[in-house]
């Protein structure tokens, strides 16, 4: 068996000596756990649990509770993470409870959901936690029975000694185990012996979600809480000037107060997730949502344009200066400026061989440009947050992906030590990157402080959609050089965006082409952007995979085989040393999707597109089957192959892939946010086109590559390849290539 040191990082284990209820309590800095109980089952638990901030606890009746530190927004970590602990603990899954931990960075470390790093980052720690508890229980049983610990086995929450026929439940040995020292190292299970990991487990919150039980931030209610809303500038490039009818609005029924707040003081150095489109807002506080909404419609606020400025940002990549230009921006200007930048030499990021000479020698050169607009996140649960401020303490309850990123900002703005900031994480009704930017928590705290009452801040859908933190607008130009045999001899990619570049210079097909050049560029903007499911990859995958299909066709080669040939080159004789993908794993998903989709036998009347991509340390490939009915595309089926290492909970992983595919199809066909004089032209679902139920794929198949690699990303990798698969299928159906997203709008039909 593999051996794991228990001293896994700072404060890896905290053991309590003051136990109550005969329970074993192990605290550690990254845990999670297991199964929901009915009220009757809860009543059968021990009368007291020993409460600390992070722990695995075993009651004297064998019930196990493990807390999950990561925020939950639908990726099902509240079920999947506990499975890892229960596996190594050898617990009875029917006797395990799953609860969300409070935010506490001292104990749990970085409590963050994003980047598809949840399971991957906590895999070792969670296994260690379960294995350590199991070791201590076996040791306790061995001492009680006076037998060698090696002879004590475990199964489904029971300790057994076969030779003597003795057995005991975990609950019976919990008290004795709690008095033992934590071992310096423990044995972990062999992967082949897993009985919980790798098997379907249903979402533990599923019943609560569909039955409307309170889980989300919008469900939070406390005695005496007031409702708060904000009024923000109508356009990017504008800021607050004055309120014209302040007295009249304050006098409206149910309105307690109206005032302005400034989220960041002048000169404040922002953190990486302190992005905020409108730091100066008008706050309206009242007794009910309806009363506050009426006041919000009645208030008359004057706004003025601001001058260009610079701000300091201290993000993950270190300190940088962000330039914020003045002016009211327009989407038509955005596209023209991106095309202008694409025509100029870019910043060289990577160069292999002599691409200039290769292009000069080429028998054929293919050049294509791709673009995509800004996108809004549109989480189904709009932004909201509860806040209460009493003297020198702040208590916040709400949905956030990154409590540790907003806590120091709240503390600095309010002049309080971070230990006086309490954040409780509610389940999120969608995140997708938007809720990593938790400025609304600071806004809620400032409003509660000035209102001198607990408040629940609510954004309307229009507030949310017009508030920024968008997926940036992007542009990429690809050039390919082919020789007389159709061999790809050179590739040049130049990519940029507003206000960031989407380029990944070291990803495929880098490393597979002798002559390769990657350049990028950016355009400053006052429109705020942020992480959007599979940041940057969600555009580059579509552009790259659509271009590779077109190159394969020009070379007279099957699109899957064309990619596999390039990957074989990257595996056998790679170009360069900084390629950040594994060509064998990349080829593996292409081979699997080719087999499972029956690629070589396309059904009559069906048009197929293929796409594959690497991101978040995982590999995904899709074959999308499309038909045309009355000029509209119908996605008949999507066959998906994924290599994300060990799949902890296949049911949850399939759900994430299915959701990513539906999300990708919708954004590829319809997703678009445009601006006129700085104003977002689509501010609710009557204008912002989302995919409808009738437009979702009729069938989705998800297949996983089976291996023993530690888990890698799952929530984001299936999303980016969808765009390329849609584009390639549309071409097969119409004979027309689509270079600009969205590929389809209500007014545009396919020929």
**What CATH number is attached to the domain comprising 457?**
3.30.365.10
Range of the domain at 524: 335-375+470-734
Model pLDDT, residue 563:
98
Model pLDDT, residue 66:
80
Instruction: Tell me which of 8-22, 510-524, 610-624, 640-654 is least confident.
Output: 8-22
Model pLDDT, residue 55:
52
The answer to whether residues 588 and 675 belong to one domain is yes
Percent residues over pLDDT 90 in the chain: 81
In terms of Cβ atoms closer than 10 Å to its own Cβ (0-12, 13-18, 19+), residue 416 is middle
Q: Has residue 44 got a pLDDT over 80? A: no
Model pLDDT, residue 30:
36
Write the secondary structure of 451-505 as one string of H (helix), E (strand) and C (coil). Answer: HCCCEEEECCHHHHHCCCCEECEEEEEEEEEECCCCCEEEEEEEEEEECCCCCCC
Model pLDDT, residue 316:
82
Q: Express each pLDDT in 230-255 by its tens digit.
A: 999 999 999 999 999 999 999 999 99
140, part of any domain:
yes
Q: Has residue 504 got a pLDDT over 70? A: yes
In the chain, the number of structural domains is 3
The answer to whether residues 480 and 404 belong to one domain is no
pTM, whole model, 2 decimals?
0.93
Q: Which of 430, 465, 500 is the last residue of a domain?
A: 465
The answer to whether residues 538 and 432 belong to one domain is no
The answer to whether residues 581 and 723 belong to one domain is yes
Model pLDDT, residue 58:
84
The answer to whether residues 482 and 555 belong to one domain is yes
131, part of any domain:
yes
426, part of any domain:
yes
Q: Express each pLDDT in 680-724 by its tens digit.
A: 999 999 999 999 999 999 999 999 999 999 999 999 999 999 999
| Residue among 247, 234, 257, 204 nearest 427 (CA) | 204
Q: Express each pLDDT in 635-652 by its tens digit.
A: 999 999 999 999 999 999
314, part of any domain:
no
Report d(CA 57, CA 387) in Å as an integer.
31
445, part of any domain:
yes
The answer to whether residues 41 and 144 belong to one domain is yes
The answer to whether residues 461 and 490 belong to one domain is no
The answer to whether residues 619 and 726 belong to one domain is yes
Q: Residue 16 in 3-state DSSP? A: coil
742, part of any domain:
no
Model pLDDT, residue 4:
67
The answer to whether residues 52 and 106 belong to one domain is yes
Segment 287-316 shows an average pLDDT of: 96
The answer to whether residues 353 and 366 belong to one domain is yes
Segment 212-241 shows an average pLDDT of: 96
pLDDT-derived band at 577 (thresholds 50, 70, 90) equals: confident
The answer to whether residues 90 and 238 belong to one domain is no
**Is there a contact between 256 and 282 (Cβ–Cβ < 8 Å)?**
no
Model pLDDT, residue 6:
65
741, part of any domain:
no
Q: Give residue 571's region: left, alpha or beta (phi > 0; psi -120 to 50).
A: alpha
Model pLDDT, residue 65:
85
744, part of any domain:
no
pLDDT-derived band at 174 (thresholds 50, 70, 90) equals: confident
Percent residues over pLDDT 70 in the chain: 92
Phi, psi of 52 (to 5 degrees): -130, 180
More confident residue, 362 or 95: 362
Q: Of 5-19, 48-62, 468-482, which one has max mean pLDDT?
A: 468-482
Q: Which of 447, 465, 483 is the last residue of a domain?
A: 465
Q: Which of 465, 484, 515 is the last residue of a domain?
A: 465
Unique residue bearing structure tokens 């001198």? 452
Instruction: Tell me which of 43-52, 208-217, 316-325 is least confident.
Output: 43-52
Segment 586-603 shows an average pLDDT of: 97
> CB-based contacts of 632: which residues, under 8 Å, 6+ apart?
744, 749, 750
Q: Express each pLDDT in 405-438 by its tens digit.
A: 999 999 999 999 999 999 999 999 999 999 999 9
Phi, psi of 41 (to 5 degrees): -70, -40
Segment 293-318 shows an average pLDDT of: 95
In angstroms and rounded to an integer, the radius of gyration of the C-alpha atoms of the chain is: 28
The answer to whether residues 533 and 575 belong to one domain is yes
Edge to edge, the sheet with strand 347-352 lists 347-352, 515-522, 488-498, 473-482, 364-372
């Amino acid at each position: 068996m593999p051996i794991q040191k228990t001293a896994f990082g700072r404060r890896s284990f905290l053991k309590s000596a003051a136990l109550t209820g005969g329970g074993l309590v192990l605290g550690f800095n990254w845990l999670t756990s297991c199964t929901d109980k009915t009220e009757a089952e809860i009543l059968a638990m021990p009368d007291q649990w020993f409460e600390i901030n992070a722990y695995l606890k075993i009651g004297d009746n064998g019930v196990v509770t493990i807390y999950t530190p990561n925020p939950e927004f639908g990726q099902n970590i509240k079920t999947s993470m506990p499975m890892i602990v229960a596996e190594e603990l050898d617990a009875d899954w029917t006797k395990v409870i799953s609860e969300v931990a409070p935010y506490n960075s001292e104990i749990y470390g970085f409590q963050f959901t994003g980047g598809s790093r949840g399971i991957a980052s906590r895999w070792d720690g969670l296994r260690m936690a379960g294995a350590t508890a199991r070791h201590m229980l076996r040791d306790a049983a061995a001492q009680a029975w006076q037998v060698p610990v090696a002879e004590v086995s475990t199964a489904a929450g029971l300790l057994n000694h076969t030779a003597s026929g003795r057995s005991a439940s975990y609950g019976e040995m919990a008290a004795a185990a709690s008095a033992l020292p934590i071992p310096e190292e423990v044995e972990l299970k062999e992967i082949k012996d897993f009985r919980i990991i790798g098997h379907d487990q249903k979402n533990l919150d599923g019943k609560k979600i569909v039955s409307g039980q309170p889980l989300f931030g919008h469900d939070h209610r406390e005695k005496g809480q007031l409702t708060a809303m904000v009024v923000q500038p109508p356009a990017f490039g504008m800021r607050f000037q004055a309120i014209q009818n302040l007295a009249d609005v304050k006098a409206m029924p149910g309105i307690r107060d109206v005032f302005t707040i400034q989220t960041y003081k002048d000169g404040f150095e922002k953190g990486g997730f302190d992005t905020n489109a409108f730091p100066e807002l008008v706050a309206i506080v009242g007794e009910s949502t309806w009363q506050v909404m009426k006041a919000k419609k009645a208030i008359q606020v004057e706004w003025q344009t601001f001058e260009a400025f610079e701000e300091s940002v201290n993000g993950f990549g270190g300190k940088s200066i962000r330039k914020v230009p003045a002016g009211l921006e327009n989407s038509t200007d955005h596209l023209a400026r991106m095309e202008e930048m694409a025509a100029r030499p870019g910043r060289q990021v990577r160069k292999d061989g002599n691409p200039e000479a290769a292009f000069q020698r080429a028998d054929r050169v293919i050049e294509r440009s791709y673009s995509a607009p800004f996108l809004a996140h549109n989480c189904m649960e709009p932004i909201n947050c509860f806040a209460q401020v009493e003297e020198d303490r702040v208590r916040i309850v709400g949905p956030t992906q990154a409590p540790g990123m907003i806590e120091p900002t709240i503390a600095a703005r309010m002049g309080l030590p971070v230990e006086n900031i309490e954040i409780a994480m509610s389940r999120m009704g969608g995140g997708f990157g938007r809720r990593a930017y938790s400025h609304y928590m600071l806004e809620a705290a400032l409003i509660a402080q000035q209102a001198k009452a607990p408040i629940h801040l609510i954004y309307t859908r229009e507030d949310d959609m017009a508030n920024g933190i968008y997926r940036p607008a992007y542009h990429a130009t690809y050039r390919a050089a082919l020789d007389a045999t159709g061999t790809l001899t050179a590739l040049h990619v130049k990519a940029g965006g507003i206000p960031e570049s989407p380029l990944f210079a070291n990803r495929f097909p880098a490393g597979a082409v002798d002559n390769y050049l990657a350049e990028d560029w950016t355009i400053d903007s006052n429109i705020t952007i942020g992480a959007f499911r599979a940041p940057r990859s969600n555009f580059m995958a579509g552009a790259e995979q659509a271009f590779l299909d077109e190159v394969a066709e020009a070379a007279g080669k099957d699109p899957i085989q064309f990619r596999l040939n390039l990957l074989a080159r990257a595996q056998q004789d790679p170009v360069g040393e900084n390629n950040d993908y594994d060509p064998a794993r990349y080829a593996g998903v292409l081979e699997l999707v080719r087999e499972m989709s029956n690629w070589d036998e396309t059904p009559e009347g069906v048009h197929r597109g293929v796409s594959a991509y690497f991101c978040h340390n995982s590999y995904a490939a899709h074959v999308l089957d499309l038909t045309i009915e009355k000029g509209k595309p119908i996605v008949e089926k999507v066959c998906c192959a994924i290599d994300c290492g060990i799949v902890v909970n296949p049911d949850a992983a399939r759900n994430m892939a299915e959701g990513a595919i539906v999300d990708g199809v919708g954004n590829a066909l319809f997703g678009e946010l445009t601006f006129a004089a700085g104003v977002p032209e689509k501010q609710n679902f009557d204008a912002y086109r989302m995919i409808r139920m009738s437009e979702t794929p009729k069938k989705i198949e998800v297949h996983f590559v089976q291996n023993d690699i530690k888990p890698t990303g799952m929530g984001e990798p299936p999303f980016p390849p969808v765009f390329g698969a849609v584009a390639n299928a549309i071409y097969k159906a119409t004979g027309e290539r689509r270079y600009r997203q969205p590929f389809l709008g209500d007014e545009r039909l396919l020929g």
